[in-house]
Amino acid sequence: MEKNDVWTKNAAVITKLFPGLAEQIDAATPPVALRLETAADGEPTLVVNGVYVHSKREPAREGARLARAVVGSGDGGGAASVASYGVIVALGFGLGYAVAAVAEQCGNSHPIIIVEKHPEILKKAFETRDFTNFLSKNIIVFALGDADSGVAGVAGAEAAVFGALSFFNEKKDARILKNRALVQLDEAWYAGIERRIHTWQTKDAVNEATAKRFGDRWTRNFLKNCAISDCVCAYPGVSRLKGLLKRDIPLLLVAAGPSLDDVAALLPAFAERCAVVGVDTSLNYLLRSGVDPDWIVSGDPQYWNSRHLDRLGVSSACLVTESAIYPRTLRRAKRVFLFATPLPFGKQIEEKVDPKGRLGSGGSVATTAFDLCLELDPSVIFIAGLDLSFPHFKTHFKDAFFEKQANAQAARLCPAETCSFRALRDGSPFYARAANGGKTLTDKRLSLYAAWFENRLFSMRSARSRPMPSVYSLSEEGLAINGLRTARAGDILALPPREAEMRLFLQSAFDKIEQDFAAEIAERTRRWASIAAAIGGHV
């Protein structure tokens, strides 16, 4: 059978099952030197840039051996091993010997994510070997690079892997099948993919630890908030904010990274041109700078986190939070919007009484605030203070609550600097690429947040039926986030001032939401009374 005939058969299946993939790989032009040779056993083998990526003697047998090393032998302990994980990630496809062998040994029961930097290698494989059975019988996701798109090609592949792993998250483990020759040819590119896999694997452990740590606190807060204010009935959900800005008003998200100090003097001018969303840890900083934000986002249920909002009572900001927040926080807010609580039984109650709408959470309040920004659907999103790193070894902005607490607790043998040193040391720090192309110090926790941002940016661009807002970061020395472009303060200052117009628009929009929400009070009260009676008057 001629190569063109092989490609025609494979392309027919690809076109049917993977729309757009056939065109992408068919249009690929090789920036790498590819050469086919015939191995000793008569099977084709591939040479890339002078390096053999399969055995010169028995490539198919080599592929089967590599597959057994990943999934087990298939009998006894091997069978148990196959059942113990959920996803296979193939780094480097080559001519697909090992990947096809893994699928056969697993009995087509596990999703396979194929990661290949060079689409032209995939093209060569589909021109050479018949993969129609493999493509038709397996759950496959392709994450390909693009030699012409630079960082964008890396961003798309990394986010596709992270997103696919999250989608197939019925089990927490992923097995990596690595073509070492191809990985070594593009070591830095594949290292980014492996970091994303590790991030996904640690994400579940972080979520479980969070639930274990805060489960009792969430429950106590939720019950108290229901007893004090009937919060599920009393406050509307963030779903009512969807599309509020109608792609007409720019938005500024103020996170709480060290680089916030760099734009402190400009924050009032920014607020004249943009609606403002702040995270809880930035509220006092914003108020001291003369900016009263439009929304403040908080999701941490602990008492000490509520101290960041001590001055919420003098702010007109809408508090965006969830119903298991520390009770004193709700009492200080003038206007509240709730997002769905992570507390399981609280979530069930909200669904029956008044579904609030979900905001994503990547472990940081900044990730939740960013999701709110996307829901508001502005024309553009600027983000200040999103460093996810320690530029110049700074752990927070000047005069942050953490700094005040450290100064108050400092002693001769334990000065405030010790707290900063521990914050740098205890997160397993390492150097990573900064947004300006240099290097910056970050740690495992912050890199996990960066992975969430990257996945969210990529998945939103893929899933949205309407145009995605342009998103820019003002933190040039912060951790590079694929898909997030950088901007300068002058880009915001170039926008026309429109503060009075924005305030009038937002007040009118909030009034309309409150009227609509109040009109439904009778039905919500009836549902709430029914649930309260059913659970024995605990709320």
Taking the domains of the chain in order of start, what are their residue ranges? 3-185, 216-388+397-501
In this structure, what token pair is assigned to residue 285?
């900083």
pLDDT band at 497 (very low <50, low <70, confident <90, very high): very high
Return the half-sphere exposure (C-beta side, CA atoms, 13 A cut-off) of residue 363.
22
pLDDT in tens, 20-50: 888 888 777 766 789 999 999 999 999 999 9
Give the confidence band of 168 by pLDDT, cuts at 50, 70, 90.
confident
Give the DSSP H or E segment for 297.
strand 295-297
Residues in the chain: 539
Structure tokens at 438: 């240099």
In angstroms, the CA 306 to CA 312 distance is: 10
φ/ψ of 369, rounded to 5, equals -65, -35
Pairwise CA distance, residues 506 & 195, whole Å: 41
Q: Which residues contact 39 (CB under 8 A, 6 or more apart)?
A: 45, 54, 55, 56, 57, 58, 59
Residue 376: the pLDDT is 94
- Residue 74's pLDDT is what? 43
**pLDDT of 479 strictly over 50:** yes
Q: How confident is the model at residue 82 (pLDDT cuts 50, 70, 90)?
A: very low
H-run or E-run covering 276: strand 275-279
Largest CA distance in the chain: 81
Residues 6+ apart with CB under 8 A from 33: 47, 48, 49, 50
Q: Tell me what the pLDDT averaged over the chain comes to.
A: 84
Strand order in the sheet with 34-38: 34-38, 44-48, 51-52
Q: How far is CA 309 from CA 281, 322, 387, 480, in A?
A: 8, 15, 22, 30
Q: Which residue has the higher pLDDT, 5 or 320?
A: 320
* Res 517: pLDDT: 94
Q: What is the pLDDT of residues 113-131, one digit of tens each?
A: 999 999 999 999 999 999 9
CA-CA distance, 51 to 181, in Å (whole number)? Answer: 7
How confident is residue 161, by pLDDT bands cut at 50, 70 and 90?
A: confident
- CB–CB of 440/478 below 8 Å? yes
The residue behind tokens 């002078």 is 50
Which one, of 202, 308, 318, lies nearest residue 255 by Cα?
A: 308
Q: Out of 106-110, 210-214, 333-337, 386-390, pick the least confident.
A: 210-214
Give dist(CA 67, CA 103) in Å, integer: 9
Q: Any residues with CB less than 8 A from the CB of 454 and at least 6 apart, and which?
A: 155, 158, 159, 162, 481, 482, 483, 484
Which percentage of the chain shows pLDDT scores above 90? Answer: 45
Residue written as tokens 């530029």?
391
Give the least confident one: 166-175, 191-200, 271-280, 362-371: 166-175
Task: Tell me if 372 sits within 8 A of 320, measured CB to CB.
Answer: yes
CB distance 101 to 64 below 8 Å: yes
Indicate the range of 251-265, 279-293, 397-411 predicted with least confidence.
Answer: 397-411
Residue 156's pLDDT is: 62
**For 83-87, 171-175, 313-317, which range has the lowest pLDDT when averaged over its residues?**
83-87
Asked whether residue 319 carries a pLDDT value surpassing 90, the answer given is yes
Q: Which of 46-60, 237-251, 394-408 has the lowest mean pLDDT?
A: 394-408
Beta bridge partners of 115: 91, 143
pLDDT tens digits, one per residue of 89-98: 999 999 999 9
For CA atoms 514, 516, 519, 521, give the dihedral sign. Answer: negative
Tell me which long-range contacts 13-16 makes (C-beta under 8 A, separation of at least 24). 13/131, 13/132, 13/135, 13/136, 14/126, 14/135
Residue 58: what are its φ and ψ, rounded to 5°?
-140, 80
Task: Report the distance separating Cα 318 and Cα 205, nearest Å.
Answer: 32
d(CA 95, CA 46): 7
Cα–Cα distance measured from residue 518 to residue 511, given in angstroms and rounded to the nearest whole number: 10
296: burial class by Cβ within 10 Å (0-12, 13-18, 19+)?
Answer: buried
pLDDT of residue 76: 37
Q: Which residues pair with 142 in a beta bridge?
A: 114
